[in-house]
Structure 1
């Protein structure tokens, strides 16, 4: 039986569409009335180290790659790879070529110094009898120099040959190069830009601040300033000494009335503990600069005449902490040695017997790291 295909009516014509309007143009530049709600600042990848370090003696040449051009000391980070080559003037009678990495921590105690071996790795680069390398895997402190403690590392090339008349004994030529161990670290979250007003961000992003007020991550890179906000709440008469402007001859907000100083600064504390003895050293590594963050109250001229206990007012300052010392090592802690960092708020009467206000000092622990936050993968 022959089948007849069904008949289909022609499809209606496709509707006509008008072209879509062009996409609006976007720009990072703010127009009048616009403001930035949130911003992620991307960090450009760091340039690769393309320099070469060389150390040449009469018998041995050591070449280390992946260094900064012109560096006088090789630098390696956490899980760093030592790449290079060794050239010998003569291979006659050669028994073994060994590469050694050693680290020493020297601690100063009362009247004596104690040196501890913190790293001792040995790699046999060539041997007439095969041996397994010895590797000591443990967290290491960074290269560090202080009056209480010094941590140093050396890379040694040991070339062993038999003695001329006693072949069962070896003679060794040793080339020793000081190296710098500089493990890098960074915050887990970005820090708000220092040019954003505090009152704007504390309302829209209160989680970004931590009282003093400081950025809530409490982990800050050595390459960036640290914004903070200071608010003082007290009876009006107690706030009166703080209203005068800062004396311009001081880098700190020392009041022209010379009654009291307000100071916010960065304090580094080096602690060495050996047995039951503990030694501590403090160093100021950064200073804060304060400016009034809002207009003074209209009645601030009458603060001095208000009796104690009548009403609570507040004064607000914005500030930035800037490093005044050349700090390259972040906060760290090992068994006998720890390097701690603090943001310190200090209120100190210049004439304690005459000033009605008492001295006060608050230390808030923070962590300093070597690198800023980044949203791209970094191999260290």
Structure 2
């Protein structure tokens, strides 16, 4: 008789265990391009030279025309002095300010100004001459305060006609003894313009532009935001025209995002409406009715608001960032929920389109004292002949927020819709 042990099959062959990787309590550097690194830190150096001062700023792109810093950015740099004679102190100052001009008047608001001594001959431990090289590392604050409010530090900005400016600078000052019979300290300064570019992302993604409103409304209704308005009428015999504009529900978009939209007009049947394209060089559509023609446009609008406190003057400047190309959309009754189906005495006109911002725009929206940049998706519906039309012009502005970066699974920055 065979024993139980002898009747069991032989175990499969085993290979030696792979040695576990070494572990350390120290943090490792994040490899460039890994999921936890949104972008590699620049390794170049920005240089400025004068006859007296040599300035070097680290962590810059080699092809950058000006130094760029992000949120809470640290200005790592070094300064060397060629002529050290008759110097009493060397300092560095990081400063931010907003300047606005209205009707020939201008006002300037200092957001922050921080000075740091690099060398001072009057200090007990001070040397007779400054060191060969002096390092510094001032940083951009997250916010600035204007009683009773606190604002995020706005990005660098300059409009086309120079009426609004948000600028940041780094100043190296070489101070010398006062001249005889003079109360002022002589100084030589090197001022370098810095670009402050804080980055932010939406908290949620938007649907890809190839997925239209009609294709996703039933499966993903939460991905669309409905904004409604009415085109008013002068004649009580003609009811108003209902307008339904659908945009991605986050209402926070990257500057690089393509914003898909859907527009529905509910027009009284008695108007006998039809539509066609606008003039060849004009965006939008023309709706033809027995009460006149109406032009329909959808655009991405940027509003620059400036204020001047002494006289309480305010100005608004508008700039179209993108014009939507309206394409006819055929809507079947089974596609729309019942609440989106008009009553029997109305007809619907539906279009879909996309908004792509101009490549020249790189600054996100922001709000600050004296200067604000706000963005809107705008529905513009107006009669061709305003004096003869039964209907009044409608400009419906839906606030949105434009940020620097597209949504990413790596993380986001909370940005609220204004």
Paired residue for 1:250, among 281, 305, 310?
281
CA drift at 1:230: 0.8
| 1:213 counterpart residue number | 246
The worse-fitting range, judged by mean Cα deviation, of 366-375 and 109-118 is: 109-118
Give the secondary-structure state (helix, strand or coil) at the position aligned to 2:265: strand
Paired residue for 1:81, among 71, 74, 78?
74
Distance 2:393 2:185 in 1: 68
After TM superposition, the score normalised by the length of structure 2 is 0.70
CA drift at 1:210: 0.4
Distance 1:190 1:295 in 2: 26
CA drift at 1:9: 6.0
Distance 2:330 2:386 in 1: 29
Distance 1:313 1:165 in 2: 88
| 1:241 counterpart residue number | 274
Paired residue for 1:346, among 339, 357, 380?
380
CA drift at 1:14: 7.0
| Unmatched tracts of structure 2, length 5 or more | 12-34, 127-136, 145-151, 227-244, 334-342, 414-418
Distance 1:118 1:358 in 2: 44
Distance 2:222 2:214 in 1: 13
Asked if the contact 1:43/1:375 (under 8 Å) is kept, the reply is no
| Unmatched tracts of structure 1, length 5 or more | 1-7, 17-41, 298-308
Paired residue for 1:337, among 371, 389, 398?
371
Distance 2:247 2:262 in 1: 7
Q: CA RMSD in A?
A: 3.5
After TM superposition, the score normalised by the length of structure 1 is 0.77
Structure-to-structure mapping, 1:228-377, within 5 angstroms: 228-238=261-271, 240-242=273-275, 244=276, 246-247=277-278, 249-255=280-286, 259-275=293-309, 276-294=312-330, 311-324=345-358, 326-377=360-411
Paired residue for 1:189, among 204, 220, 236?
204
The worse-fitting range, judged by mean Cα deviation, of 204-213 and 65-74 is: 65-74
Give the secondary-structure state (helix, strand or coil) at the position aligned to 1:200: helix
> Residues 196 and 140 of structure 1: is their aligned pair in 2 closer, same or farther, counting only changes over 3 Å?
same
Paired residue for 1:203, among 212, 218, 243?
218
> Residues 12 and 350 of structure 1: is their aligned pair in 2 closer, same or farther, counting only changes over 3 Å?
farther
Paired residue for 1:172, among 173, 184, 187?
187
Give the secondary-structure state (helix, strand or coil) at the position aligned to 1:82: coil
| 2:256 counterpart residue number | 223
Distance 1:287 1:201 in 2: 23
> Residues 346 and 43 of structure 1: is their aligned pair in 2 closer, same or farther, counting only changes over 3 Å?
farther
How many residues align structurally? 334
CA drift at 1:311: 2.5
Paired residue for 1:106, among 99, 108, 122?
99
CA drift at 1:156: 0.7
Paired residue for 1:140, among 141, 153, 157?
153
Give the secondary-structure state (helix, strand or coil) at the position aligned to 2:325: strand
Give the secondary-structure state (helix, strand or coil) at the position aligned to 1:207: helix
Asked if the contact 1:49/1:68 (under 8 Å) is kept, the reply is yes
Distance 1:263 1:46 in 2: 38
CA drift at 1:185: 1.7
Structure-to-structure mapping, 1:53-64, within 5 angstroms: 53-64=46-57
Asked if the contact 1:121/1:136 (under 8 Å) is kept, the reply is no
Give the secondary-structure state (helix, strand or coil) at the position aligned to 1:204: coil
Asked if the contact 1:119/1:136 (under 8 Å) is kept, the reply is no
Give the secondary-structure state (helix, strand or coil) at the position aligned to 1:329: coil
> Residues 377 and 355 of structure 1: is their aligned pair in 2 closer, same or farther, counting only changes over 3 Å?
closer
CA drift at 1:357: 4.2
> Residues 241 and 182 of structure 1: is their aligned pair in 2 closer, same or farther, counting only changes over 3 Å?
same
